[in-house]
A and B are shown apart, each in its own frame.
Chain A
Amino acid sequence: MQLRAVALSKTYRGPGGQPVPVLAGADLEVKAGEFVAVMGASGSGKSTLLNLLGLLEAPDAGEIWFEDRRVSHLGRRVQCRVRGTSIGYVFQSFLLISGLTALENVLLAARYVGRDRRSAEVEARTLMARLGVAHRSGHYPAQLSGGEQQRVAYCRAVLNSPPLVLADEPTGNLDDDHARVILAELRGLARERGASVILVTHRADTAALADRTMRLGGGRLELA
C-alpha cells in the first residue's frame, strides 16, 4: 500500500500551556514493499509522526493518504476500521495487556475486525510458533521476558496481514539476538509480503537495514 503524508503539523501544549511545536509540515511517501527508517534526536517527534501516520491521533494540519483514500479526514468509526485492518503497530514498550495471556493478546487484533476466531487462532498459533513463543501462549505478559513480549507484540501487529506496519523503536528494549529476529521479520514483511514498513530508530546500524532512511529535525523530514 502506498502511504503519503502531506505537510503534517502537530503542536502540543507544555505544562504552562505554552505551545510546543513537534511537526511542522512533515512530508513522507512510502511505497508498497518499501522499508523506510526514520531517525532523529530524542524529542524530535519520531513517535508523534508514527502516531499520526497510524491514526492514533489527529494532526493539527496536513493530510494522510492510503493509496487514493484520504484517511486523515475519515470519521472516528471508519478510522477504527482502517486501524484494525490496514495498520500494524510494534511499540518499544510492547504494550501488551497484562490481564490477557500471550495468545489472547495476539488474538485481540482479530477481535475488533470481525475475523472468525477459530481461523485467527490457528494463524496466531502458527505465527507464534514461527517466532518461538508458542510454548508461552498461556502465559501472561509479566511471566514473559522482554524478547518474548516483543515477539508476541509483533505477532499481534501482523496477524491481520496489514499493508502498513509501523514500528516505534521495536528493538530499544531488546538484546542483540532478539533485536535481529524482529528486524529480520520487519524486512521480510516488506520484501516478501509487500507491506510498507516504517521503522523509527535512533540507531544507525538498525536504520542501515532499511531501503531508505529519513531524518526528522525541526519538525520536517529529509532524506538522510
Chain B
Amino acid sequence: MTLRSLLPRGYLFTVLGITVGVAGLVALGAMAERITRFIDGGDRFVLGQISVAGEGMGMGTGFTAGGLLRAAKVAEIARVPGVAAVQPQVMLPLNTTTSQFLTLTQELVLGLDLSAPTPNRHYRELPVRAGRFLRPGDRGVVVVGADFGASRRLGVGDRLPVGGIEFAVIGVLEKTLTAPDRFAIVAIDDARELWLRRDPLLVQVFGGGPGALSRGDLNSGAAVGWREGEDPDELARRIQRTVSGVNVTIPGEVSRLLRDSTAFFSALLFGIAALGLAIGGLSLSNTVTAAVFERIRDFGIKRALGATDLQLLREVLGEALGVSLSGGAAGVALALAIGFLVDARALRQGQQLFLFSPRLLVFALAFSVILGALAATYATLRIVRLSPAEAIRRGT
C-alpha cells in the first residue's frame, strides 16, 4: 500500500498546509513542555527535602546560599525528632566568574556525603545513563549531568579537570531537564578539597584550639529527610526552633517562592501554548475547510448520483481523517526534525530548547484529527444545504 493509495487524490497541498500548522503547534508546545519540566523538576526537588545551611552569607551556593554548616550542627539536626536522615553537602559553582554566578543555567559541583543515605524523597537515586553512580569510598571520580557531559562530550572513562584536580568520569546521568543536568557530582571530600583551593581564607581558619574548623565542618548545607507521616514544613520549623545558627528552608514556602519567581515563565508558557493552539488550529481548520469547499462541485455531482447527506458526511469525514492524520504525522515529524537540529546546536552550549513529550505528540495528533473532522463536518453541512444544481453551478 502506497501513500498515494491512502490519500485522496488532490489533497497534497491540504496535507502540506496541515503539516505546517501542526509543526508550529508541536514546536511551540515542545518549548512550553521544556519550561514546564524545568519548573516542575525544581519544585519536586525542593518539596522532597528540607535544605539547611549555616547562618549568614557564605561561599555556599545553589539552593541554600548560607554560611558554613559545621559538623556539630549536622549532628544536632539529626537528633531533632522526626528527622530520618541528614546528608551533608558541598555545592560550588564550577565557574566562579560573575557572569556564571547565580544564574539559572549555572553549572555546579555537588559534593555528597555518601555515608548518609540520600534524603530527598523525590530523588532517591539520580538515574544513570552510562557507567555508575558514586559509592561510599569513591575519590577522584565524578558523575556528570546529561547537559554537563554533552556540552563537553564527556563519556565514562574521560578525564575532567576541575580547579586543578583531575577527575575520572565514572557515570553520566540520564537527562532530567532540571538542575542535575548541569551538575558534576563528586564525593564530599573532593568537593571540600576544591573549596579549600578556591578560598584561601578558609585555610587560614583551620588551626588548633577550641572552635577551630576541621574538614568535616566544610559543608555548604545539608539535605534533611523526614520520617514517614511527618509534616515536612512542620519539621523544618521544628529544626529552626531547636537548632540555633542555621538557615532552614521550609519546603512548602520554597515551593511557593519558586512558583512565584517563575510566574513569568508560567505566563510565557501559557502564551506559547495558546499561540501554538491558535496558529496550528486556525491553519488546520482553514486548510481542511478550504479543501472541502474547493470540492463543492464534486459534492454536487455525488448528490446528483444519489448520495445522501449522511453518506457525503461519512465520506468527507473519512477523507478528513486520512488527510488530518497524514498532515498531523508529517507535522510532528517536521517539528521533531527541526527540534533535533536546533537542539543539536544548542546542546553545544549545554542548552535544550525542546521537549517532545509523548503527551504532546499524542495531543497534537488527536488535535489535528478532531479539528480536521470538525472543520470537515462544518464545511460539509454548509454544502449539503445547497441543492445539487447550485453546488455544481458554484463549483464550475
**A208 CB-CB contact with B under 8 Å:** no
Query: What sequence of 0s and 1s flags, for each residue 37-63 of chain A, a beta carbon within 8 Å of any chain B beta carbon?
Result: 000000000000001001011100000
CB-based nearest B residue for A105: B301
Q: Known interface pairs A97-B301, A99-B10. Does A57 touch B388 (Cβ–Cβ under 8 Å)?
A: yes
Do B309 and A76 touch (CB < 8 A)?
Answer: yes
Do A84 and B305 touch (CB < 8 A)?
Answer: yes
Do B306 and A85 touch (CB < 8 A)?
Answer: yes
CB-based nearest B residue for A162: B306
Residues of the A chain whose Cβ atoms lie less than 8 Å from the Cβ of B8: 99
Distance in angstroms between the alpha carbons of A139 and B318 in the assembled complex: 24
**B175 CB-CB contact with A under 8 Å:** no
**A80 CB-CB contact with B under 8 Å:** yes
Residues of the A chain whose Cβ atoms lie less than 8 Å from the Cβ of B305: 83-84, 108-109, 111-112, 156
Do A56 and B309 touch (CB < 8 A)?
Answer: no
**A98 CB-CB contact with B under 8 Å:** yes
Do B389 and A112 touch (CB < 8 A)?
Answer: no
**B261 CB-CB contact with A under 8 Å:** no
- Closest approach, in angstroms, between the C-beta of A155 and any C-beta of chain B? 13
**A154 CB-CB contact with B under 8 Å:** no
Residues of the A chain whose Cβ atoms lie less than 8 Å from the Cβ of B388: 56-57, 83
Query: What sequence of 0s and 1s flags, for each residue 212-248 of chain B, a beta carbon within 8 Å of any chain A beta carbon?
Result: 0000000000000000000000000000000000000
Do A57 and B390 touch (CB < 8 A)?
Answer: yes
Do B387 and A56 touch (CB < 8 A)?
Answer: yes
Do B10 and A98 touch (CB < 8 A)?
Answer: yes
Distance in angstroms between the alpha carbons of A98 and B301 in the assembled complex: 11
**B182 CB-CB contact with A under 8 Å:** no
**B124 CB-CB contact with A under 8 Å:** no
Residues of the A chain whose Cβ atoms lie less than 8 Å from the Cβ of B301: 95, 97, 108
**A203 CB-CB contact with B under 8 Å:** no
**A35 CB-CB contact with B under 8 Å:** no
Chain A contacts with B in 10-68, Cβ cutoff 8 A = 51, 54, 56-58
Most chain A beta-carbon contacts within 10 A, residue among B8, B10, B305, B308 = B305
Distance in angstroms between the alpha carbons of A89 and B389 in the assembled complex: 12
Distance in angstroms between the alpha carbons of A111 and B10 in the assembled complex: 21
CB-based nearest B residue for A84: B306
Distance in angstroms between the alpha carbons of A81 and B297 in the assembled complex: 20
Residues of the B chain whose Cβ atoms lie less than 8 Å from the Cβ of A54: 304
Q: Known interface pairs A77-B308, A80-B308. Does A112 touch B302 (Cβ–Cβ under 8 Å)?
A: yes
A113: which of B10, B306, B389 is its contact (CB, 8 Å)? B306
Query: What sequence of 0s and 1s flags, for each residue 89-101 of chain A, a beta carbon within 8 Å of any chain B beta carbon?
Result: 1000101011110
**B153 CB-CB contact with A under 8 Å:** no
Residues of the B chain whose Cβ atoms lie less than 8 Å from the Cβ of A97: 298, 301-302
Distance in angstroms between the alpha carbons of A211 and B49 in the assembled complex: 99
CB-based nearest A residue for B11: A99
**B9 CB-CB contact with A under 8 Å:** yes
Residues of the A chain whose Cβ atoms lie less than 8 Å from the Cβ of B306: 80-81, 83-85, 109, 112-113
Chain B contacts with A in 366-396, Cβ cutoff 8 A = 387-390, 392, 396
- Closest approach, in angstroms, between the C-beta of A45 and any C-beta of chain B? 13
- Closest approach, in angstroms, between the C-beta of A78 and any C-beta of chain B? 10
Do B304 and A83 touch (CB < 8 A)?
Answer: yes
- Closest approach, in angstroms, between the C-beta of B320 and any C-beta of chain A? 15
CB-based nearest B residue for A157: B305
Chain A contacts with B in 99-125, Cβ cutoff 8 A = 99-100, 108-109, 111-113
Residues of the B chain whose Cβ atoms lie less than 8 Å from the Cβ of A89: 304
- Closest approach, in angstroms, between the C-beta of A222 and any C-beta of chain B? 24
Distance in angstroms between the alpha carbons of A108 and B306 in the assembled complex: 9
- Closest approach, in angstroms, between the C-beta of A146 and any C-beta of chain B? 16
**B311 CB-CB contact with A under 8 Å:** yes
- Closest approach, in angstroms, between the C-beta of B14 and any C-beta of chain A? 12
Residues of the A chain whose Cβ atoms lie less than 8 Å from the Cβ of B192: none
Distance in angstroms between the alpha carbons of A108 and B301 in the assembled complex: 10
Do A99 and B303 touch (CB < 8 A)?
Answer: no
- Closest approach, in angstroms, between the C-beta of A99 and any C-beta of chain B? 4
Q: Known interface pairs A80-B303, A99-B8. Does A58 touch B387 (Cβ–Cβ under 8 Å)?
A: yes
A51: which of B297, B308, B309, B389 is its contact (CB, 8 Å)? B389
**B307 CB-CB contact with A under 8 Å:** yes
Q: Known interface pairs A51-B389, A85-B306, A99-B298. Does A112 touch B396 (Cβ–Cβ under 8 Å)?
A: no
**Interface residues of A, Cβ cutoff 8 Å to B:** 51, 54, 56-58, 76-77, 80-81, 83-85, 89, 93, 95, 97-100, 108-109, 111-113, 140, 156
The 8 A-B residue pairs with the shortest CB-CB distance, nearest first, are A84-B306, A99-B9, A56-B389, A57-B387, A112-B306, A57-B389, A51-B389, A112-B307
List 16 extra interface pairs beyond A58-B387, A95-B392, A100-B9, CB under 8 A: A54-B304, A56-B388, A57-B389, A57-B390, A80-B306, A80-B307, A83-B306, A84-B305, A85-B306, A95-B297, A97-B301, A99-B8, A99-B9, A108-B302, A108-B305, A112-B302
